[in-house]
Amino acid sequence: MLDNEIQQEENKNRKKFRKGVYLLPNLITSASLFGGFYAIIASLDGNFEHAAIAIIISGILDGLDGRVARLTGSSSKFGVEYDSLADVIAFGLAPGVLIFTWALRPFGRYGWLAAFLYVVCGALRLARFNVQITT
């Protein structure tokens, strides 16, 4: 009887640990997404150095989330899609806003068009990558 209770308690603890393991890669992706968001806000405030550093940190975190998911056996379709969304923000939109606010604003419409083209190219590249992974 006591052995059965101990076994049930161990199973509960194991399930809690697994939930934490499954959450870890998505927390890292969320941190990367935050870096992209912060880079946009910093760019709009004129803190270009902080924005660039945030984008670099997002890149480091982006390299970690997939590795952690594979090492812990917690890869999922949701994680792939969430990572892709975070990548569009951190490596498409955030650099586009940084480039526009730092250097392209004096060019008016042409400046924002150039920055937007960068964002579109980043989004298309990630979309193509996602399609190639699933096929």
Structure confidence by residue, pLDDT tens digits, 23-32: 899 999 999 9
- What is the pLDDT, as a whole number, of residue 6? 58
Using the predicted structure, report yes or no on whether residue 7 has a pLDDT greater than 70.
Answer: no
**Total structural domains within the chain:** 1
- Looking at residue 9, which CATH number applies to its domain? 1.20.120.1760
pLDDT of residue 34: 99
Which burial class, exposed, middle or buried, applies to 55 when counting CB atoms under 10 A from its CB (0-12, 13-18, 19+)?
buried
- pTM, two decimals, is 0.81
CA distance 3 to 16: 20
Helices 109-134 & 77-88 angle (0-180, nearest 10): 160
Mean pLDDT taken over the chain:
89
* For residue 47, pLDDT beyond 60: yes
The percent of residues above 70 in pLDDT, for the chain, comes to: 83
Residue among 94, 1, 101, 108 at smallest CA distance from 52: 94
User: For residue 46, what are the domain limits?
Assistant: 2-134
51-76 pLDDT, tens per residue?
999 999 999 999 999 999 999 888 88
